[in-house]
Amino acid sequence: MTDMIRNPILPGFNPDPSICRVGDDYYIATSTFEWYPGVQIHHSRDLANWRLVTRPLTTESQLDMRGNPDSCGIWAPCLSYADGLFWLIYTDMKRYEGNFKDGHNYLVTAPSIEGPWSAPIYLNSSGFDPSLFHDEDGRKWLLNLQWDYRQREGGDRFGGILLQQYDAERCCLVGPVHNIFAGTEMKLTEGPHLYRHDGWYHLLVAEGGTGYDHAVTMARSREITGPYDVHPDNPVLTSRGDPENPLQRAGHADLVETPAGETWMVHLCGRPLPGTRRSPRGRETAIQKVEWGADGWLRLAQGGNTPALEVSMPGIEQRLPAEEEAHDFHLGTLPQVFQWLRTPQPERLFSLRDRPGYLRLFGRESVGSWFEQALVARRQDSLHCAAETMLEFEPEGLQQFAGLIAYYNRFKFHYLAVARNDSGDKVLSLISCCDEWPTGNLTTVDTGVVLRPGLPVRLGMDIREGELQFRYAHGGVDWQPVGPVLDASLLSDEGSGRAHGYFTGNFLGMAAHDISGRGTSADFAEFRYRRMVN
């Protein structure tokens, strides 16, 4: 496609975008929640074509999420550049259910986007969605929402946007804390970013929650501490009045200015399955052209306040992702597309050296453990896709199993596993948790497939929108379907709707579990991912 950008620009689970420009280079940081390493940073030269360049939080001192519940971990990072350094602010959320939210805010810096990234500086724990504003006078200011644990009228515990100065020499916050903005009638005010334009401080926030009422609102003041006057046409961006728009849940945004002086907004969005409110690809990142009006307020360049699926950008050709990705493990490093869960000690989960050319997973705790499970996976970024792997695994008993998994969280997954049955046969078993919150009850299916000892087995899955079909090939027999067609739509932020909201997206990958504690290993020779339709 020429002269147009088609949204989203970061498909698949890539929420809460923060964007900055350094010369001709653009960078977007997005949330990774419980997936390790922490924070995804993509790079572009044209705002249309993006490449993952790093995940900077790689050490135990920077990030240790063992014990963090589902959809906790890295919330809403903020990436900026000033004084010859990249500045990355992030929240490590330890708890988010109930009245309390235990989230701790940190700062790391680096001279280059590839690092080395510094040891973390602790900032505060007063609320999440922190961002750092570098003012024209050289002062730096931290913003974050204030969390109010009390049961307030309407259930809104978002207690306003806090502002406090950061002393870069002393590496700490200093001076008084100002509550500069209580939000609008949309409530749930979060995701603050500050900008200086034409003598005004412009405050951009997300409101309305992260679901289908999500929105971007703005306010401005002559003084950084306020008072802030709200935008006359709020919300600036939302999908809540446009249910047919393919980009739903639009909100949580950030701004960037090009060298030519144009302004662009990146924002969160979701693409639910047709006819549903289920989004297996999670919350993604889109982009819109915006303009400053004669009255000094920012608005969408195309008019209105709903996100456009396609945005004009003359002279740009947006490249489509490869139809197929084939990953082997001969290089001895984990391909960048993969992540694992929570732990800063991946050597306890997998090895690429124990058996050269293979990814060896060491069976650890149960499926969905919040501490240590051997699960290595990549994002689902297409509604029509397939994943395949080849596995060598000899389980010792019913407590060891390994295979191919579609995983959202501990309550939502489908797992085609090599296991042992009560007769001692090596078999294929289907293990699912179909959004059984809060019990986590499993559905297990005996497929009737008996595998020959000592032989590898190929495992595959095909996803067609809301349906998932597993398949296998073994002992010279070509691909065969196995088990029933499963509900893939449950592997989404919304799921059945019985539980509270989640914030990640579906992952497809390789897993090994050994709840006996013996660490039985499983060897994976390759992993293939194919996009049929984006």
Q: Which residues are catalytic?
A: 372
**What's at 325, amino acid-wise?**
E
Residue 340: how many other CB atoms lie within 10 Å: 22
CB 111 within 8 A of CB 131: no
Number of H helices, E strands in the chain: 0, 39
Written as one letter, the residue type at 238 is T
Q: Which of 347, 343, 334 is nearest to 527 (CA)?
A: 334
**Cα 231 to Cα 237: distance, rounded to the nearest angstrom:** 12
- Distance of alpha carbon 507 from alpha carbon 494, whole angstroms: 15
SS3 272: coil
Q: Are 504 and 495 in contact (CB under 8 A)?
A: no
Instruction: Please tell me the distance from the alpha carbon of residue 472 to that of residue 480, in angstroms, as a whole number.
Output: 5
| 12, 32 contact by CB (below 8 A) | no
The CA-atom distances, in angstroms, between 386 and each of 419, 449, 457 are 23, 21, 17
What phi and psi, each to the nearest 5 degrees, are found at residue 129?
55, 55
